[in-house]
Structure 1
Amino acid sequence: MSGFRFLLILVLSAQLTGTSFAQTPDQRTPSLAPILEKVLPAIVSIAAHGRAPDEQDPLLSDPHVRKFFGLPEDASPGDHEFWTAGSGVITEAHEGLVLTSRHVVDEADDITVVLADGRRLPAAVVGADETTDLALVRVVPENLVEPIFGDSDKLRVGDYVVAVGNPFALGQTVTLGIVSALRRNPPDEDLIQTDASINPGNSGGALVNLKGEIVGINSMIFAPLGTNSGIGFAVPINTARSVVREIIKQDKASQ
């Protein structure tokens, strides 16, 4: 009987504990919302439009080949209109500077930055860095929110991170994952690998730690099928901010 009574006490204790936990008014469902409230206003969507030369097979530059196929003698390629969607991070609010991926705004004639509050601002490219695929654009600095930047050197494999961006031009979207690996593709690149869902349109968006600090700029995905495969890459924020400083320095020197 003593064993039965002991088991009964354990069962009752577990039930009472569960009931007590469920009725505790201070308990809340775990959420990233309080963390993201600090950073979301600083993440923007970017729309770019322009014209770019058509890619042409080098063989078609040969006039004999063009004559064989009955093509015009003029071998100069045409061009095509393009639209791209991406993301960006406000980096120097007082100067209206927004950090994004170079391939989002490359060769664009018109760039529009859409803020988290819905405002649409025209933007112009300040400068870009081909090695890191980063670019800096400028908008009118009116009521812009600047985020908190973390230290990407302190990241560890297994740390939780959140990717924020504008996938498929759907608007601001948040996904959760972990740091899968660090220092990918050295020596030319030093990228953060993450399994947080990153898709076309996320380029230039933020990788955020659980303190609400930006630790990376989302850059590319490994996507044999063209969409998220659980392998995405971000430029460490320490690297990105160094690039920003260099672009600003060059811009001021040119003025």
Structure 2
Amino acid sequence: MTTFSVRNFLAAAVVAACLPLVPHTASAAPAANLPDFTDLVDKVGPAVVNIRTTTRVSSSGLRGGLPPGMDDGDMSEFFRRFFGIPMPQSPQSPGSPQTPGAPRGGDNGGSGGTPDAPDGSDPEQNSGVGSGFILSADGYVMTNAHVVDDADTIYVTLTDKREFKAKLVGVDDRTDVAVVKISAGNLPTITIGDSNKVRVGEWVVAIGSPFGLENTVTAGIVSAKGRDTGDYLPFIQTDVAVNPGNSGGPLINMQGEVIGINSQIYSRTGGFMGISFAIPIDEAMRVADQLKASGKVVRGRIAVAIGEVTKDVADSLGLPKAQGALVSSVEPGGPADKAGVQPGDIILKFNGHSVDTATDLPRMVGDTKPGTKSTITIWRKGQTRDLPVTIAEMQPDKSAKADQKKPQPPKQRATNVLGVAVSDIPSDQLKALKLRNGVQIDAVDGPAARVGLQKGDIILRVGDTDITSAKQFDEISSHLDSQKMVALLVRRGETTQFVPIRPRSGTK
């Protein structure tokens, strides 16, 4: 049986060898449809630049961190031979893409210190390498703010190897955009696209200097739009390979237009892991125009601290869906305070434009010229209201930190359906806290403890009802339905927020 099977196999092999070769068109078709980036790179490549930054350091600090007996040249040769990359400088060097949710990646191709300056001043040390692109033929270049952070000198190298010392025109840390200027003319420029027309799934290309390797091209697709990473701007998410040194380089569509600035990666290692983020070019150009005109960016503010509206909060307050920005605190005397905005309000619209998430509001207000009379639509106690507000100019950020004291063990047990024991607040204390009403939590257990309420918190409202006394609070609590969530408006320190809680059953 074995011999018969082998003979049959050999016969089949001979017949197959004699058949004419026919191309497999089904598998060849996809390859024919793959994009060709060569013309695009030829068109755009000359407008992409390498940016190198240096800082002045004391001579005693040049060799810090090297193993005994090794100098910078030895280390550079080691990295070149065994890793094929320039020697890293430090985990926090300026040209690395920022990495939300993880430490920033490694260095950007710096090569260590330079010899002492001839005039006896402190020598320059390479602090990082990034990328950028030419906005105009007279030498304006756009890059990331974190590429040029803390740089004493900025060098811009063109694709024809000419190097220029650049002047810093302006930086905007909030959007991570910077503009520098070199003294040159008739430079190749890049075409600005429209980031609003970007489609998920379209092919895009990045050109930059990963690990200091100039004019490197990587390609991929747009993975998502409007990606919120907690920063001021929504990002374009791609799977284009972006690594330390790519920061500030352009993200380009198939028409050869820049649609974003490569700025961040999501990484647990500091290197590319399949997710990168680009600043939309529309937002970046608005910032660049202001930086070129005045060296700074002017933004509007209404002086509120806001938070996200969760589904539980929306359901408990009767909102059709989880949207808007929850006002957690209002700056006394600020535009929102003068307009009548209160902690616990939910801002649904700004000048008629829907506020879908909390991060939408700062961008909308920030893009509004100070002094402009605007309208905000709020949700309060089951109703919408339009409030007129005059936009003020944004000042340097002030971080309002909530009281982070650890909760103390309760001295008494809370026995109502919410698991909260409360007491009245003296009128003079209410006045000092600039509150009209509220009761103070003396003890928590059960449902209240599970949602994080603490002794010392102040309950301002249960659902749509303002709380004016402990007796009233206990009365309202006794009639709550254990099958429905209820939202408590709670103040802790300087922060006010809704806390959804489900009453327990069987305890009155």
- CA deviation map 1:113-161 (0-9, x unaligned): 0101111111011001111111000101233111111111000110110
Distance 1:51 1:184, change over 3 A: farther
> Structure 2-normalised TM-score?
0.38
- 2:162 paired with 1:157: no
- 2:224 paired with 1:181: yes
CA RMSD of aligned residues (A): 2.9
- 2:86 paired with 1:43: no
Q: 1:219 aligns with which of 263, 278, 288?
A: 263
Q: 1:190 aligns with which of 231, 234, 256?
A: 234
Give the SS at the match of 1:193: strand
Q: Which moved more, 1:103-112 or 1:199-208?
A: 103-112
Counterpart of 1:99? 142
Distance 1:28 1:223, change over 3 A: closer
8 Å Cα contact 1:43/1:205 also seen in 2: yes
- 2:183 paired with 1:140: yes
* Structure-2 separation of matches of 1:181 and 1:42: 26
Distance 1:30 1:99, change over 3 A: closer
Distance 1:45 1:183, change over 3 A: same
Q: 1:206 aligns with which of 250, 254, 260?
A: 250
- 2:176 paired with 1:171: no
- CA deviation map 1:49-105 (0-9, x unaligned): 1158x9xxxxxxxxxxxxxxxxxxxxxxxxx956110000101222x1100011111
Q: 1:238 aligns with which of 282, 304, 311?
A: 282
Counterpart of 1:131? 174
Counterpart of 1:71? none
- 2:39 paired with 1:34: yes
Higher RCO, Cα 8 Å, sep 6+: 1
- Give the counterpart letter for 1:220 in structure 2: Q
Q: 1:88 aligns with which of 105, 115, 132?
A: 132
Distance 1:190 1:29, change over 3 A: closer
* Structure-1 separation of matches of 2:260 and 2:293: 22
Where is the strand percentage greater, Structure 1 or Structure 2?
1
Distance 1:238 1:121, change over 3 A: same
Deviation at 1:248, TM superposition (A): 1.2
- The equivalences for 1:117-128 within 5 A come to 117-128=160-171
Deviation at 1:17, TM superposition (A): 10
Counterpart of 2:116? none
Give the SS at the match of 1:93: coil
- CA deviation map 1:215-240 (0-9, x unaligned): 11101111110100111110011111
8 Å Cα contact 1:51/1:107 also seen in 2: no
Where is the helix percentage greater, Structure 1 or Structure 2?
1
* Structure-2 separation of matches of 1:16 and 1:196: 33
* Structure-2 separation of matches of 1:179 and 1:16: 33
Deviation at 1:210, TM superposition (A): 0.6
Give the SS at the match of 1:104: helix
Which runs of no fewer than 5 residues in structure 2 stay unpaired? 1-18, 62-123, 297-508
- Give the counterpart letter for 1:229 in structure 2: M
% identical equivalent positions: 43
Give the SS at the match of 2:274: coil
* Structure-1 separation of matches of 2:135 and 2:286: 12
- CA deviation map 1:165-196 (0-9, x unaligned): 10000111000100011111167211101100
Counterpart of 1:3? none
* Structure-1 separation of matches of 2:160 and 2:182: 15
Deviation at 1:38, TM superposition (A): 1.1
Which runs of no fewer than 5 residues in structure 1 stay unpaired? 1-10, 22-26, 55-79
8 Å Cα contact 1:47/1:86 also seen in 2: yes
Give the SS at the match of 1:161: strand
- Give the counterpart letter for 1:114 in structure 2: T
Moved over 4 A (4+): 14-18, 27-30
8 Å Cα contact 2:171/2:295 also seen in 1: no
Give the SS at the match of 2:135: strand
- 2:151 paired with 1:108: yes
